[in-house]
Amino acid sequence: MFVALGLLFGVLVAGLGQAQAGPWLFTADKEKSKIELEVTLDLGIAKESDSDSTKVEGTIIAEINPDDPPVETIRITSVDAQSTKAKLQLNYSLGPFGLFGNAKFSMSDLSIRIDPEDAGVEAELDDDGNFMQEGNTPTLTGVVAYDVNALGNKSEGEIDFSDPEQFPEDQQAEAFTIEGQLTWDGDQPVLKFDFEIEQEVETEEFEGITVLILASGTLVARGERLAGPPLLAIAPVGDGQLRLAWEAGAYVLEAAAEPTFAEPETIELTDGQAEYAVKPSRDHPHRFFRLRSR
C-alpha cells in the first residue's frame, strides 16, 4: 500500500490522486456453494466416468468500481475455494462387466485457487449485475490416492497436484470464464458465479489411460470492504519543512528520488510513530514518500 508525494525545494509538485475504489473480501456461504468433481477415464477402447460433490468454504477478493451501487465494473483478483468434505470418492468398472479392469480414486484437500497474477480482465456489469470475466487461469490442488488395475497393468500410490515433479506445467488447467452476478443486500454486496474447469492428466502410472478432470460448481459469497491504503497528511511546520502524518499502524515509510520507487530508502520508524518531518534540499530536489504495510 502506498501514497506518494513529490517535493521540489519545499514545493509540493505531485499531490495525492483521487481515491480509488478499494478491494472487497467475499466469504463463501458454504451452504450455497458447491463443487462437483467428475473424472473420466479414457482407455481408448472405452470410457468410464464417476463423480462426487462437496460443499465449499473459502474467500474471494474483488475490486468493484464504484464501491456503491450501481457498480460499473468488477475484477475478481483472488479465489480460494476449499472442499468441506475430507475425501471425494470415485469408483470405476472399466469396460463391459469390468472386462478391462477396475479403478478407485480418492481425493483429499481439494481446493481451487486463482492467484492475482492469474486473474482475468476487468468486466463490465449490466443493469442486473451480470458480468463475464475472461482469462482466469486456475490452480487445482489436492492429493489423489489411486488403485488402478486396468489393461493388465496394476498400480497404486498418490499424486500431489501441487508438486511440479508429479504434475508438470504442461498439464495445468486451461483459462476459463467466470460467469457471475453482483447484487446488493442492503449495503452488503453478494457475489455469485458459476465455473467449469477442465484438466487432462497423463502419467506413467496410468499407462494407456487418459484422465479428464472436470470441476464445476457455484460460489455464493458475501462481501465486506477491506481497509484502504494508509493516507499521508501533509502540512508545513516552518523552516521550510513539511510534516507527514498518518494514522499509527504497522507501516514502513520509504523515500525515493523517482515515483517508481525503483531504489527506495527505508526510514526507520519507532513503535507508534505517526509523523515525520522532512526538509527538501538541493541533494534531493525531487523526493517521493510512501507508506506500506509490513
Using CA of residue 159, residue 163, residue 168, residue 169, what is the dihedral sign?
positive
State the pLDDT at residue 170: 62
Across the range 169-197, mean pLDDT stands at: 89
d(CA 159, CA 167): 8
Neighbouring-strand partners of residue 224 = 25
Query: Over the chain, what is the mean pLDDT?
Result: 83
**pLDDT, tens digit (0-9, with 9 covering 90-100), for 111-134:** 999 998 899 999 999 999 999 999
Residue 38 pLDDT exceeds 80 = yes
Q: What are the grid coordinates assigned to 131, written together?
A: 458480468
Residue 166 pLDDT exceeds 50 = yes
ω before 70 within 30° of 0 (cis)? yes
CA 42 and chain centroid, separation:
32
Across the range 75-86, mean pLDDT stands at: 94
Residue 280 phi, psi dihedral angles, 5° rounding: -60, 150
Contacts of 45 by beta carbon, 8 Å cutoff, 6+ apart: 95, 100
Number of C-alpha atoms within 13 angstroms, CB side, residue 118?
A: 19
Q: Which of 179, 172, 186, 287 is nearest to 234 (CA)?
A: 287
Residue 202 pLDDT exceeds 80 = no
d(CA 81, CA 67): 24
Q: Is 133 helix (H, G, I), strand (E, B) or coil?
A: strand
Percentage of the chain beyond pLDDT 70 is 84
Q: Is 96 helix (H, G, I), strand (E, B) or coil?
A: helix
**pLDDT, tens digit (0-9, with 9 covering 90-100), for 238-269:** 666 778 888 877 788 888 877 777 788 898 88
Domains in the chain: boundaries: 6-19+228-293, 23-225
d(CA 200, CA 72): 36
State the pLDDT at residue 125: 97
Across the range 20-45, mean pLDDT stands at: 88
Q: Are 288 and 257 in contact (CB under 8 A)?
A: yes
Band (282; pLDDT cuts 50, 70, 90): low
CATH number of the 6-19+228-293 domain: 2.60.40
State the pLDDT at residue 258: 74
